[in-house]
């Protein structure tokens, strides 16, 4: 059930939009759709499957021209400055070489396949009109490759720059001195806490051969139970402890301060974060399946996370109908690059 809801598409280019305006109308045009949003208005979406309405969308603090900034270590100060609306994008990495071979990967550092590269590029097209101010990835190359490849497709054309905070020397050596360059860059923070869960003695084993050896029920229990780890490995519960703690401590304060954030990580670390965002139970989260290379969008507003699904394509109108801030950002991009 949770998986079905999670992958629900949030609109199609053929859906009809009806608008009632009172004042301060914003009109957004592109080759494939026209979207009009007012400061004080009622917007209804009708399709064969469902209806939804948005009333009195609030103004976002998002700016196309925000410069890059490193994450603050003072979370208290960050949390005092709350933005009206920010975007959170979650993205599982594209297919890896061991995904292709049906091997348990876990924390082994395996790169993407050609298909995985294509998935990352396609994911980037889907988020090309959504603001991104900061990127968080795991310490594993498949997640970092996915983030970098996805951002090559973003219309803002900013360059992802990995921030090195390992030591004072690392920070000094990686410093950017050009203010113009900083404005055209996005900081990338790599954190081991966002790694895939560690599969212990299963890492590198073929999944089918492992099932034949230990039995399907035992392997299914290791893979899909919440609190039972594989031999010398992590359970989903153990993975959630580190991933959610890192999200609360490092990422959520950035959203509170007005930053739009993308996280490129792994099936289990992202399931753990989604469990926190959507308040899922331990039984609901074990049935949650995430496809490789499919971005998911959340709106963070007034301290709450609102799931919006996955943008279907760069021309998708539905996602921009949810908030005035996203529509304004899309309009600014159109003005800058057309």
**Residue in the block written with tokens 């039984």:** 283
Alpha-carbon distance 168 to 90, whole Å?
30
CA atoms within 13 A on the CB side of 260: 25
pLDDT at 337: 80
Distances (CA, A) of 18 to 36, 74, 325: 9, 44, 19
Residue 91 phi/psi, 5-degree rounding, is -140, 120
Tokens of 195: 């790694």
Catalytic entry in 45, 93, 154, 266: 93
Q: Which residues of the chain have pLDDT under 70?
A: 1-83, 312-322
pTM attached to this predicted model: 0.76
Active site residue 234: no
pLDDT at 58: 34
pLDDT at 261: 98
Signed CA dihedral, 14, 124, 143, 88: sign only = negative
Alpha-carbon distance 36 to 19, whole Å?
7
Tens-digit pLDDT profile for residues 242-293: 999 999 999 999 999 999 999 999 999 999 999 999 999 999 999 898 999 9
> Domains plus CATH for the chain?
1-60 (no CATH), 66-337 (3.40.50.1240)
Catalytic entry in 196, 234, 252, 316: 196
Alpha-carbon distance 46 to 21, whole Å?
17
pLDDT at 24: 42
* DSSP string across 29-87: E-SS-EEEEEEEEEEEEE-SS-EEEEESPPPP---TTPPP-PPPS-HHHHHHS--S-EE
Opening angle at CA 152, ends 301 and 10, nearest 5: 40
The answer to whether residues 136 and 71 touch, using CB atoms and an 8 Å cutoff, is no
Question: Which DSSP state fits 196?
Answer: P
Active site residue 196: yes
Opening angle at CA 121, ends 3 and 130, nearest 5: 70
Binding-site residues from annotation for substrate: 92-99, 105-106, 142, 196-199, 207, 223-224, 267-268
């Amino acid at each position: 059930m949770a998986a079905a809801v999670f992958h629900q598409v949030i609109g199609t280019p053929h859906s009809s939009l009806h608008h009632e305006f009172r004042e301060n109308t914003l009109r957004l045009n592109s080759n494939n759709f026209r979207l009009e949003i007012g400061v004080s208005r009622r917007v209804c979406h009708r399709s064969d499957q469902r209806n939804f309405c948005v009333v009195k969308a609030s103004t976002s603090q998002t700016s196309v021209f925000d410069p890059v900034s490193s994450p603050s270590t003072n979370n208290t100060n960050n949390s005092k400055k709350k933005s009206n609306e920010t975007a959170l994008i979650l993205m599982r990495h594209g297919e890896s070489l061991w995904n292709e071979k049906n091997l348990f990967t876990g924390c082994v550092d395996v790169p993407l396949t050609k298909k995985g590269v294509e998935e990352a590029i396609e994911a980037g097209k889907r988020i090309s009109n959504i603001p991104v101010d900061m990127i968080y990835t795991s310490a594993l190359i498949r997640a970092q490759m996915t983030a970098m490849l996805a951002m090559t497709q973003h219309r803002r054309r900013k360059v992802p720059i990995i921030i090195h905070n390992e030591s004072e020397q690392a920070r000094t050596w990686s410093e950017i001195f050009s203010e113009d360059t900083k404005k055209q860059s996005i900081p990338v923070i790599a954190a081991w806490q966002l790694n895939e869960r560690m599969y212990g003695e299963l890492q590198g084993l073929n999944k089918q051969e492992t099932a034949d050896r230990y039995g399907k029920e035992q392997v299914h229990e290791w893979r899909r139970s919440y609190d039972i780890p594989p031999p010398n490995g992590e359970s989903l519960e153990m993975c959630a402890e580190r991933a959610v703690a890192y999200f609360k401590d490092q990422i959520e304060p950035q959203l509170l301060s007005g930053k739009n954030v993308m996280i490129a990580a792994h099936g289990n670390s992202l399931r753990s974060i989604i469990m926190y965002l959507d308040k899922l139970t331990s039984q609901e989260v074990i049935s949650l399946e995430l496809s490789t290379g499919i971005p998911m969008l959340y709106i963070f507003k007034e301290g709450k996370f609102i799931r919006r699904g996955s943008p279907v394509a760069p021309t998708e109108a539905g996602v921009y109908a949810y908030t005035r801030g996203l529509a304004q950002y899309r309009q600014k991009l159109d003005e800058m690059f057309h």
